[in-house]
Amino acid sequence: MTKNPKRSLTELEFDNRFVNELPSDADLSNSRRQVIGACYSRVLPTQVINPTLIAHATEVGELLDLSADEFESEAFAQVFGGNQLLDGMDPYAMCYGGHQFGNWAGQLGDGRAINLGEVVNADGDHWTLQLKGAGPTPYSRTADGLAVLRSSIREFLCSEAMYHLGVPTTRALSLVLTGEQVMRDMLYDGNPKYEPGAVVCRVAPSFTRFGNFQIFAARNDVENLKRLCDFTIKDCYPHLHSDQPGKYSDWFEEVCLRTAEMIIHWMRVGFVHGVMNTDNMSILGLTIDYGPYGWLEDYDPGWTPNTTDAAGKRYRFGNQPSVAHWNLYQLGNAMMPLVDDVESLQRGLDVYLDTIESGSSQMIAEKLGLAKYCAATDESLKTDLFEILILVETDMTIFFRCLAELSLEDQSDDEVMNVLQDAYYSPQYLVGEVRERIVGWVGDYKRRLQQDGYSNEERKARMNRVNPKYVLRNYLAQLAIDRSEKGDHEMIGELLEVLRNPYVEQQGKEAFAEKRPEWARDRVGCSMLSCSS
Ligand code: AMP
Ligand code: MG
Per-residue pLDDT of the chain (533 residues; tens, 9 = 90+): 557 789 999 999 999 999 999 999 999 999 999 999 999 999 999 999 999 999 999 999 999 999 999 999 999 999 999 999 999 999 999 999 999 999 999 999 999 999 999 999 999 999 999 999 999 999 999 999 999 999 999 999 999 999 999 999 999 999 999 999 999 998 888 999 999 999 999 999 999 999 999 999 999 999 999 999 999 999 999 999 999 989 999 999 999 999 999 999 999 999 999 999 999 999 999 999 999 999 999 999 999 999 999 899 999 999 999 999 999 999 999 999 999 899 999 999 999 999 999 999 999 999 999 999 999 999 999 999 999 999 999 999 999 999 999 999 989 999 999 999 999 999 999 999 999 999 999 999 999 999 999 999 999 999 999 999 999 999 999 999 999 999 999 999 999 999 999 999 999 999 999 999 999 988 888 878 888 89
CA-110 nearest atom, ligand 1: 12
The last residue of a domain, from among 298, 332, 365: 365
Q: Please report, for residues 317, 363, 392, 453, 506, the alpha-carbon distance to residue 423 in angstroms, rounded to integers and kept in the order given.
A: 19, 20, 10, 26, 19
Q: What is the chain's alpha carbon radius of gyration, rounded to the nearest angstrom?
A: 24
Q: Is the CB of 95 under 6 A from ligand 1?
A: no
Please indicate, yes or no, if residue 172 is contained in any of the structural domains.
yes
Ligand 1: residue whose CA is nearest its atom 13: 111
Kindly identify the ligand whose nearest atom is closest to the C-alpha of 147: 1
Q: Print the domain residue range for 277.
A: 247-365
User: Distance between CA 109 and CA 477 in Å, rounded?
Assistant: 28
Residue 251: half-sphere exposure toward Cβ, Cα within 13 Å: 31
Q: Is the CB of 110 under 6 A from ligand 1?
A: yes
The last residue of a domain, from among 186, 210, 234: 210
> How many CB atoms neighbour CB 163 within 10 A?
21
Ligand 1: residue whose CA is nearest its atom 8: 111
User: Distance between CA 24 and CA 29 in Å, rounded?
Assistant: 13
Q: Are residues 43 and 105 in the same domain?
A: yes
Q: Is the CB of 431 under 6 A from ligand 1?
A: no
Q: Are residues 272 and 395 in the same domain?
A: no
Q: Are residues 390 and 356 in the same domain?
A: no
Domain count, the chain: 4
Please indicate, yes or no, if residue 529 is contained in any of the structural domains.
no
Q: Are residues 349 and 384 in the same domain?
A: no
| pTM score | 0.98
Q: Is the CB of 489 under 6 A from ligand 1?
A: no
Q: Are residues 177 and 92 in the same domain?
A: yes
Please indicate, yes or no, if residue 178 is contained in any of the structural domains.
yes
Enumerate residues with CB within 5 Å of ligand 2 (an ion).
280, 289
Q: What is the pLDDT of residues 17-75, one digit of tens each?
A: 999 999 999 999 999 999 999 999 999 999 999 999 999 999 999 999 999 999 999 99
Kindly identify the ligand whose nearest atom is closest to the C-alpha of 100: 1
Please indicate, yes or no, if residue 161 is contained in any of the structural domains.
yes
The last residue of a domain, from among 365, 398, 419: 365
Contact status, residue 111 vs residue 11, Cβ threshold 8 Å: no
User: Distance between CA 427 and CA 360 in Å, rounded?
Assistant: 29
Backbone angles phi, psi at 394, to 5 degrees: -125, 120
User: Distance between CA 269 and CA 467 in Å, rounded?
Assistant: 7
Q: Are residues 164 and 41 in the same domain?
A: yes
> What is the Cα 72 distance to its own chain's centre?
28
> How many CB atoms neighbour CB 489 within 10 A?
20
Q: Are residues 200 and 52 in the same domain?
A: yes
The residue among 276, 291, 287, 295 whose CA lies nearest residue 468 is 295
Backbone angles phi, psi at 28, to 5 degrees: -95, 0
Cα 136 to ligand 1 centroid, rounded to whole Å: 10
Q: Are residues 71 and 153 in the same domain?
A: yes
Cα 113 to ligand 2 centroid, rounded to whole Å: 9
Q: Which of 110, 230, 279, 309 is catalytic?
A: 279
Q: Please report, for residues 302, 390, 393, 421, the alpha-carbon distance to residue 426 in angstroms, rounded to integers and kept in the order given.
A: 20, 13, 7, 10
Amino acid 41 reads S
Cα 289 to ligand 2 centroid, rounded to whole Å: 5
User: Distance between CA 96 and CA 215 in Å, rounded?
Assistant: 6
User: Cα-Cα-Cα-Cα dihedral of 506, 305, 203, 397, to 10°?
Assistant: 20
Residue 222: half-sphere exposure toward Cβ, Cα within 13 Å: 6
Cα 403 to ligand 1 centroid, rounded to whole Å: 41
Please indicate, yes or no, if residue 39 is contained in any of the structural domains.
yes
Catalytic annotation on 378? no
Buried residues in 298-323 as b, exposed as e (16+ CB within 10 A): bbbeebbbbbbbeeeebbbbbbbbeb
CA-137 nearest atom, ligand 1: 21
Kindly identify the ligand whose nearest atom is closest to the C-alpha of 134: 1
Contact status, residue 136 vs residue 110, Cβ threshold 8 Å: no
Q: Which residues pair with 335 in a beta bridge?
A: none
The residue among 469, 260, 224 whose CA lies nearest residue 352 is 260
CA-147 nearest atom, ligand 1: 19
Q: Is the CB of 109 under 6 A from ligand 1?
A: yes
Q: Are residues 407 and 503 in the same domain?
A: no
Cα 369 to ligand 1 centroid, rounded to whole Å: 41
Q: What is the pLDDT of residues 60-109, one digit of tens each?
A: 999 999 999 999 999 999 999 999 999 999 999 999 999 999 999 999 99
3-state secondary structure of 122: coil
Q: Are residues 265 and 342 in the same domain?
A: yes
